[in-house]
């Protein structure tokens, strides 16, 4: 941007100050003013941690600030996790921290040297006056931003409160590592997060669930009373030393998300725009990176609107990714009581990988000794990644933990699977997965989703499936094949997926039945509410199809109670409005799906495992909650389910999923550790590193992948080759063995000089 605009920065935290310094440095003619209502030495918290990535950006943008920070930093690379008397250390992480007061002093000094006007103890004018007096107003006024509130109709903020209370304290000694310590008290689980920020000082954060906080009496204590109680609870971590506060108070973390970040000459920055939980150390980091991006965009773009648009475009995806990781970390600590029963070493690994950003492979690079010890304790034979350890379900032992997830192919004729299914499923069985699942196989013609859906209601279909299972057992020995049985319910009589997913057929429709007479989509076919007599018929259809599946040679059967199909429609309060014995309370909504499960289990061979697929959330207000999903899973486990396949959503058309890498796995994690039943995790698990991480951390027992197996039918064998694994859990078929190593490619490196002379 050309010219010398006037800039107001509201908020004198690190993000606001660094923005002011950068803008003034890039254009000394700019008039830059910072408004901060507090005194210069007033701040919240104690230490600040910055990543190497953030420091690299500072180094390039302002070497003066970088040099000053370098002189102050305390550095370390280890994390200690202390749980039930065991201390496990993982190294190779790399942290740099300094005191928050010192950071502000450095930024104050830099701003003054550049000519930025710092107005402390000064409330900023109201937003209307600011925008009238300044060309650009940077709202860096924190999580409770007054500027954001004044224009909430434009920024459209969403603020979420969470379930833990925490307090920010300090200790007058330096931890020698980033320390996590767990205290299991008579009132519940509490945790300490501590790290050094000076040679003689450490930040100490104590956190616990709200109900634990109240039961422990913290609600009735004053500030010093809370400080003393925390020091007593964590006396071992502190070596008996006291803690101190800085006007510290118990609070709950608030996640801030804004739909828009700018409005005219106003722009949000740092906590005013977004927050990410402190357990991944991201608040100051994100604010400083915002400052770097905003300054760069203002320097690069010709106009202010273009600059603010470019800033938002650049930063939003980065922040969204960080917030997903922070939310995963936050929720892990909220549910800490689920994990305290793990063995201490696995618990430590679980904690380190909680955000899904740090993975098994990443930890092996950082500290191979620690990761190797976790693998040995888990039971990995030497040289065997976690994903290639066997897993037993009833009488079936899977040679590895990879499942080819059910994927509707819509390629059957009259419910009969043909050559396409033989090639599709056969190729993936040859590809090395421990278990290959069919698509949802329908129990009746009326239970199909589309005319192309496969079925198991005739002898011809049974024999066609037998052809496929025989191929898998003969040509891919060691690979199991499972069938998923289901009924479409209100989501039936629709076009093939690629012709219009969930769109009604233009002709040839069949009548639908469902728990309640509610169409899946506006304008869709209205199903009939299934009667008591029809419930009996459908239950028998499931049992007959299961009997046929056993004759067809399937090794495992999964009952589909997810994704808004018939049985799922009974479970969700959004789709079950019945007032009889099959609707109302969760216990009643469970009744018919459990009746079907029992009928299927009764005819399914005793030695063969049976699983159930659930939607653990509807991603819609008023739908199935995470707590209800645990209750549902517990009920199926009590009826004999050998594992729960934990999916989410697809129940109602107005759902709002929180997409992201491995985004559904926390629901499987919760069910596994709350119920104690084996689980199959699904949902954007795309790498073998993710699979290893989830299994080794104890968040799942098996991982089901769909799209990766469409991209690469030999995904499992390639995962083994890439990890250098050649054991019994990933055996290449003899005709394919020559492909077990990547083919040579053309040379891409340049020839090295034949002679080099030093000068």
Per-residue pLDDT of 192-215, as tens digits, reads 999 999 999 999 999 999 999 999
Q: 19 pLDDT exceeds 80?
A: yes
What is the pLDDT at residue 715? 96
Average pLDDT across the chain, whole number: 93
Q: What is the mean pLDDT of residues 41-58?
A: 79
Mean pLDDT of 463-472: 98
Length of the chain, please? 759
The answer to whether residue 759 scores a pLDDT higher than 60 is no
Dump the DSSP string for 240-293. Answer: T---B-SS---EEEEEEEES--EETTEEE-GGGTB---GGG--HHHHHHHHHHH
Nearest residue to 716 (alpha-carbon basis) of 515, 482, 517, 429? 429
Confidence of residue 747 (pLDDT cuts 50, 70, 90): low
The reported pLDDT for the residue numbered 418 is 96
Please say if the pLDDT value at position 757 is more than 70. Answer: no
Residue 486: how many CA atoms within 13 Å on its side-chain side? 34
Provide the pLDDT confidence category of residue 94 given band limits of 50, 70 and 90: confident
Residue with tokens 């500027």: 147
Across residues 381-395, what is the average pLDDT?
A: 96
Token couple for 325: 């990781």
H or E element that contains 211: helix 210-215
For 701-716, how does the pLDDT look when each residue is reduced to its tens digit (9 = 90+)? 999 999 999 999 999 9
Number of Cβ atoms within 10 Å of the Cβ of 340: 15
Residue 758 has pLDDT above 70, yes or no: no
From CA 287, how far away is CA 203, in angstroms rounded? 20
More confident residue, 323 or 282: 323
- pTM for the model stands at 0.91
Confidence of residue 672 (pLDDT cuts 50, 70, 90): very high
Rounded Cα gap, residues 734 and 739, in angstroms = 10
Integer Cα distance of 353 and 670 in angstroms: 15
Q: Are 78 and 91 in contact (CB under 8 A)?
A: yes
Q: What's the pLDDT score for residue 1?
A: 56
Average pLDDT on 177-201 reads 96
Pairing between β-strand 201-209 and β-strand 391-393 as defined by DSSP bridges: unpaired
SS (H, E, C) 331-375: HHHHCHHHCCCCCHHHHHHHHHCCCCCCCHHHHHHHCHHHHHHHH
Q: How confident is the model over 476-512, as pLDDT tens digits? A: 999 999 999 999 999 998 888 788 788 888 888 889 9
Helix/strand/coil (H, E, C) string of 530-577?
Answer: CCHHHHHHHHHHHHHHHHHHHHCCCCEEEEEECCCCHHHHHHCCCCCC
Q: According to the model, what pLDDT value does residue 749 have?
A: 57
Q: If DSSP codes are grouped into helix, strand and coil, which group holds residue 177?
A: coil
SS3 content of the chain, % helix, strand, coil (to 5): 40, 20, 40
Helix (H) or strand (E) segment spanning residue 233:
helix 223-233
Q: What is the DSSP letter of 523?
A: T
pLDDT over 70 percentage in the chain:
97
Given a cut of 80, is residue 53 above it in pLDDT?
no
Return all residues near 632 (Cβ < 8 A) that are at least 6 apart.
571, 586, 590, 614, 624
Distance in angstroms (rounded) separating the CA atoms of residues 726 and 744: 20
271 HSE (CA, 13 A, CB side): 20
Confidence of residue 753 (pLDDT cuts 50, 70, 90): low
Give the pLDDT mean for 325-338: 94
Which residues form the catalytic set? Answer: 565
Give per-residue pLDDT as tens, 356-383: 889 999 999 999 999 999 999 999 999 9
Please, which residues have CB within 8 angstroms of residue 695's CB and are 6 or more apart in sequence?
Answer: 386, 387, 389, 401, 701, 703
d(CA 170, CA 248): 10
The gap from C-alpha 286 to its chain's centroid, in whole angstroms, comes to 19
Q: Look at 252 and 280; give whichever has higher pLDDT.
A: 252
In this structure, the number of other CB atoms found within 10 A of the CB of residue 579 comes to 9
State pLDDT tens for residues 221-256: 999 999 999 999 999 999 999 999 988 899 999 999
Closest by alpha carbon to 415, among 470, 472, 471, 458? Answer: 458
CA pair distance 395, 404, nearest whole angstrom: 20
**pLDDT score recorded for residue 742:** 76
């Amino acid at each position: 941007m050309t010219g010398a605009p006037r800039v107001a920065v509201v908020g004198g935290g690190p993000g606001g100050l660094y923005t002011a310094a950068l803008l003034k440095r890039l254009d000394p003619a700019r008039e830059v003013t910072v408004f901060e209502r507090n005194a210069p030495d007033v701040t919240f918290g104690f230490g600040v941690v910055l990543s190497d990535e953030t420091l690299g950006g500072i180094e390039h943008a302002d070497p003066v600030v970088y040099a000053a920070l370098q002189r102050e930093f305390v550095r370390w690379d280890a994390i200690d996790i202390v749980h039930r008397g065991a201390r496990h250390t993982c190294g190779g992480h790399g942290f740099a921290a300094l005191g928050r007061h010192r950071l502000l002093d450095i930024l104050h000094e830099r701003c003054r040297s550049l000519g930025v006007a710092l107005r402390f103890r000064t409330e900023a004018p109201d937003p209307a006056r600011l925008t009238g007096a300044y060309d650009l107003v940077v709202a860096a006024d924190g999580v409770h931003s007054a500027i954001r509130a004044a224009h909430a109709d434009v920024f459209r903020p969403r603020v979420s409160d969470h379930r833990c209370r925490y307090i920010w304290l300090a200790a007058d000694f330096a931890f020698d590592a980033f320390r996590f310590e767990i205290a299991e008290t008579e009132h519940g689980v509490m945790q300490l997060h501590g790290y050094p920020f000076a040679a003689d000082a450490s930040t100490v954060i104590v956190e616990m669930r709200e109900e634990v906080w109240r039961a422990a009496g913290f609600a009735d204590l004053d500030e010093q009373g809370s400080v003393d109680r925390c020091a007593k609870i964590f006396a071992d971590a502190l070596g008996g030393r006291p803690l101190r506060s800085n006007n510290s108070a118990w609070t709950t973390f608030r996640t801030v998300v804004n739909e828009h970040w700018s409005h005219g000459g106003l722009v949000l920055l740092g906590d005013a725009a977004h927050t990410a939980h402190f357990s991944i150390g991201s608040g100051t980091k994100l604010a400083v990176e915002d400052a770097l991006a905003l300054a760069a965009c203002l320097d690069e773009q010709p106009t202010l609107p273009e600059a603010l648009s470019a800033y938002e475009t650049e930063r939003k995806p980065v922040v969204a990714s960080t917030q997903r990781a922070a939310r995963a970390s936050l929720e892990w600590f909220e549910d800490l009581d689920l994990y305290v029963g793990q063995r201490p070493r696995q618990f430590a690994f679980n904690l380190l990988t909680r955000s899904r950003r740090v993975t098994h492979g990443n930890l092996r690079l950082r500290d191979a000794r620690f990761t190797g010890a976790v693998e040995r304790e888990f039971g990995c034979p030497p040289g065997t990644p976690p994903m290639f350890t066997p897993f037993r379900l009833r009488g079936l032992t899977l040679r590895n933990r990879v499942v080819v997830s059910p994927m509707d192919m819509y390629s059957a004729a009259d419910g009969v699977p043909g050559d396409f299914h033989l090639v599709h499923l056969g190729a993936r069985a040859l590809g090395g997965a421990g278990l290959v699942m069919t698509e949802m196989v329908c129990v009746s013609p009326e239970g199909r989703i589309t005319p192309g859906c496969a079925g198991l209601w005739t002898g011809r279909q049974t024999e066609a499936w037998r052809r496929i299972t025989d191929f898998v057992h003969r040509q891919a020995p060691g690979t199991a094949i499972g069938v998923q049985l289901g009924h479409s319910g209100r989501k039936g009589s629709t076009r093939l997926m690629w012709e219009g997913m969930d769109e009604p057929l233009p002709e040839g429709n069949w009548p639908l039945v469902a728990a309640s007479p509610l169409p899946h989509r506006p304008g869709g076919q209205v199903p009939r509410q299934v009667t008591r007599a029809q419930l009996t018929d459908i239950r028998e259809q499931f049992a007959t199809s299961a009997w046929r599946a056993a004759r067809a040679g399937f090794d495992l059967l999964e009952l589909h109670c997810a994704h808004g199909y018939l049985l799922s429609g009974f479970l969700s309060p959004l789709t079950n409005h019945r007032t009889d014995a099959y609707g109302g309370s969760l216990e009643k909504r469970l009744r018919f799906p459990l009746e079907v499960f029992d009928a299927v289990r009764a005819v399914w061979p005793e030695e063969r495992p049976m699983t159930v697929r659930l939607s653990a959330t509807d991603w819609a207000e008023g739908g199935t909650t995470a707590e209800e999903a645990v209750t549902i899973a517990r009920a199926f486990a009590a009826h004999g389910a050998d594992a729960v396949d934990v999916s989410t959503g697809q129940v109602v058309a107005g759902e709002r999923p929180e997409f992201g890498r491995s985004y559904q796995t926390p629901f499987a994690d919760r069910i596994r550790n709350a119920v104690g039943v084996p689980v199959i995790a699904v949902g954007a698990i795309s790498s073998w590193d993710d699979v290893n991480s989830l299994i080794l951390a104890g968040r799942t027992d098996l991982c089901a992948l769909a799209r990766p197996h469409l991209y690469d039918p030999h995904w499992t064998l390639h995962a083994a080759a890439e990890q250098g694994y050649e054991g019994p859990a990933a055996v290449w078929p003899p005709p394919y063995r020559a492909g077990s190593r990547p083919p040579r490619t053309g040379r891409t490196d340049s020839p090295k000089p034949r002679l080099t002379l030093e000068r």
